[in-house]
Copies of this chain bind each other. A is one copy, B any other.
Amino acid sequence: MTAGAYALGVDFGTESGRALLLDLHGGAELAVSEVAYPHGVIDRTLPATGEQLPPDWALQDPDDWVAVLDTAIPEVLEAVDGAADAVVGIGVDFTSCTVLPVTSEGVPLCRLEPWRARRHAWPKLWKHHAAQPIADRLNEVGAERREAFLGRYGGRISSEWYFPKLIELWREDRECYDACYGFVEATDWIVWFLTGTERRQSCTAGYKAMWSPDDGLPSAEYFAAAYPGFDRPAAKLGTEFAPLGTRAGVVRPELAARLALSESVAVAVGNVDSFVSVPGAGVESPGTFVTVAGTSICDLVIDPAEVRLPGITGVVRDGILPGLYGYEAGQAAVGDMLAWFVEALAPAGADYSTLERAAAAIGPGATGLVALDWWNGNRTILADADLSGVLFGLTLQTTPEQIYRALLESIAFGNRRIIENFDEHGLRLSEIVACGGIAERSPLMMQLLADTSGLRVSVPASTQIPARGAALFGAVAAGAFVDIAGAIAATRPPIARSYEPDTSVRPIYDQVYAVYRSLYELLGRSQAGLLHDLKRIYSERRAS
């Protein structure tokens, strides 16, 4: 790679977006600019009308995303001399499945009258959960019909995915459904906005819309069996999906002028924030367990072999890096669970850092407690949203700090369980690369991951892992590298901190983990009905 070539990575998160200017010669992060979405997460009232939104709704405003482009890109270009001319490509990544209905010109329906006043016309954020009954129905019918595609998703699809959200639109606002040309992932919409050309990618098609290169979509008969009349599943999704790293086009001339970019800048097809963390973290080969630890944990593994793993979130060919199967697994409540503790139960004045210090002083196995970290259900490997958290071993001497440490240990045990699941099915893992807010802020959590798994944990020296990954795909789209592997090799971030497993404490954790594992099987499988009953009784009481 010639020196002096840069790429832009634009990372769209839940509350804000940011642009990163990356030096393709060595991978230095030259400038970053972050912009909070003016409307944030829209989960109370619809901006256009003030209408109160139902429970479990979560929307966004596409103008907020455009504001990120308009502000953050010029800012990073201005920060570095000669940057505007040095940028060869742009990649974007987005939360997923965040989807919106658009016209055939790519205009979001929510920008147009009269649709603006209809809540279904707005982008539905990944964590919009109102389509849960639809996901339940799709799972039920899929299980009855023994649909083979479910095997790629650990046996269950999520309410956060494409078809539950699309069928929700189809059932609840048919006019809006009929009026839209397409129902597109936000990451594809941003690329469309940048280039003026519609080009959807295969990553979200595979992970969120149950599409595969070999089998296409689940059959129309399947969908119609669940929802009679809904028999054209590809109607709003399309059928052509470009591989990651494909050049979608170049930045539209009027937009290039507005953003102070040169007109020849290539734009890659869209990416997803979690998956793009693999190249962003410098990982290009099998055997590495990439764990993105934030509000929840998303675990990513790439491998040449396809294996059907129980409880996997999804396995998609070319889904993370071209030519390999991409595996996604995860833990549903991580930062969320710790935040709940700090807010609901921590002593007055305690914060993450005081709790971390106190928890570190307690030592392995010295809490007397075990937790099942199911505060938001279990994602992998039980794939059961109706489970809930459990805390065992409470005594009159139990301290809040012991409970906090038990929560951290339960996250590590859940992680070990997932790694074992890969190992047991022939996908051997030899190291962990961790990124995300928890990796940056909790050395104790990282040490626990190392000590319980017996694997080294490395934390790359970057707070912009997803944006780095997006930028690399932009560079590939621009032809700056032959392929993504070459881009990763040329720009791999240094390791900020690594955590070696302490073999002296492994026997202690093995003992506690044996208890955890037994309780996990007992309450998560053989007697899972008990926690399900509890949740059902609770829902009935709240509803009454």
Residues of chain A touching chain B, judged by Cβ–Cβ distance below 8 Å, are 333, 336-337, 340, 344-345, 348, 363-370, 374-376, 388-396, 398-400, 508, 511-512, 514-515, 518-519, 522-523, 527, 530-531, 533-535, 537-538, 540-542
Copies per complex?
2
Closest 9 CB pairs of A and B: A389-B394, A368-B538, A348-B348, A366-B541, A391-B391, A393-B534, A388-B393, A365-B541, A345-B345
Q: Say whether B538 contacts A365, CB under 8 Å.
A: yes
Instruction: Write 19 A-B pairs (CB below 8 A) sorted by A numbering.
Output: A365-B537, A365-B538, A366-B538, A374-B394, A375-B394, A375-B395, A376-B395, A388-B394, A388-B395, A389-B394, A389-B395, A390-B390, A391-B391, A392-B530, A392-B531, A512-B534, A514-B533, A518-B527, A518-B530
Q: Say whether B519 contacts A530, CB under 8 Å.
A: yes
With A344-B400, A527-B522, A530-B515 known to touch, is A393 a contact of B541 (CB < 8 Å)? no
With A375-B396, A376-B395 known to touch, is A368 a contact of B508 (CB < 8 Å)? no
With A337-B396, A344-B400, A391-B390 known to touch, is A537 a contact of B519 (CB < 8 Å)? no
| Complex contacts, A376 vs chain B, CB 8 Å | 395-396
A429 to chain B: closest CB distance in Å?
27
| Complex contacts, A512 vs chain B, CB 8 Å | 534, 537
Task: Pick from B344, B392, B518, B533: contact of A399, CB below 8 A.
Answer: B344
Q: Which residue of B lies closest to A400 (CB)?
A: B344
Q: Which residue of B lies closest to A348 (CB)?
A: B348
Q: Say whether A368 contacts B530, CB under 8 Å.
A: no
| Complex contacts, A542 vs chain B, CB 8 Å | 366
Q: Say whether B534 contacts A392, CB under 8 Å.
A: yes
Q: Which residue of B lies closest to A519 (CB)?
A: B530
Could you tell me the distance between the alpha carbons of A388 and B406 in the complex, rounded to whole angstroms? Answer: 15
* A394, A399, A533, A540 interface centre (most CB from chain B within 10 Å): A394
| Complex contacts, A534 vs chain B, CB 8 Å | 368-370, 392-393, 512, 515
Q: Say whether A393 contacts B518, CB under 8 Å.
A: no
Could you tell me the distance between the alpha carbons of A337 and B399 in the complex, rounded to whole angstroms? Answer: 13
Could you tell me the distance between the alpha carbons of A90 and B20 in the complex, rounded to whole angstroms? Answer: 87
* A345, A366, A540 interface centre (most CB from chain B within 10 Å): A345
Q: Say whether B388 contacts A391, CB under 8 Å.
A: no
Q: Say whether B508 contacts A541, CB under 8 Å.
A: yes
| Complex contacts, A514 vs chain B, CB 8 Å | 533
Could you tell me the distance between the alpha carbons of A385 and B34 in the complex, rounded to whole angstroms? Answer: 56
A332 to chain B: closest CB distance in Å?
10
Q: Say whether A533 contacts B511, CB under 8 Å.
A: yes
A234 to chain B: closest CB distance in Å?
36
Q: Say whether A393 contacts B389, CB under 8 Å.
A: yes
With A364-B541, A391-B391 known to touch, is A340 a contact of B396 (CB < 8 Å)? yes
Could you tell me the distance between the alpha carbons of A333 and B344 in the complex, rounded to whole angstroms? Answer: 23
| Complex contacts, A508 vs chain B, CB 8 Å | 537, 541
Q: Which residue of B lies closest to A522 (CB)?
A: B527
A219 to chain B: closest CB distance in Å?
36
Could you tell me the distance between the alpha carbons of A530 and B519 in the complex, rounded to whole angstroms? Answer: 8
A345 to chain B: closest CB distance in Å?
5
Q: Which residue of B lies closest to A399 (CB)?
A: B344
* A337, A514, A538, A540 interface centre (most CB from chain B within 10 Å): A538
Q: Say whether A333 contacts B396, CB under 8 Å.
A: yes
| Complex contacts, A375 vs chain B, CB 8 Å | 394-396, 398
A390 to chain B: closest CB distance in Å?
5
Q: Which residue of B lies closest to A392 (CB)?
A: B390
| Complex contacts, A388 vs chain B, CB 8 Å | 368, 392-395
Could you tell me the distance between the alpha carbons of A463 and B395 in the complex, rounded to whole angstroms? Answer: 29
Could you tell me the distance between the alpha carbons of A364 and B541 in the complex, rounded to whole angstroms? Answer: 8
Contacts A340-B398, A365-B537 supplied; 4 other A-B pairs, CB < 8 Å: A368-B388, A388-B392, A392-B530, A392-B531
| Complex contacts, A396 vs chain B, CB 8 Å | 333, 336-337, 340, 375-376
Task: Pick from B363, B366, B535: contact of A393, CB below 8 A.
Answer: B535
Could you tell me the distance between the alpha carbons of A522 and B519 in the complex, rounded to whole angstroms? Answer: 11
| Complex contacts, A369 vs chain B, CB 8 Å | 534
Could you tell me the distance between the alpha carbons of A392 and B511 in the complex, rounded to whole angstroms? Answer: 22
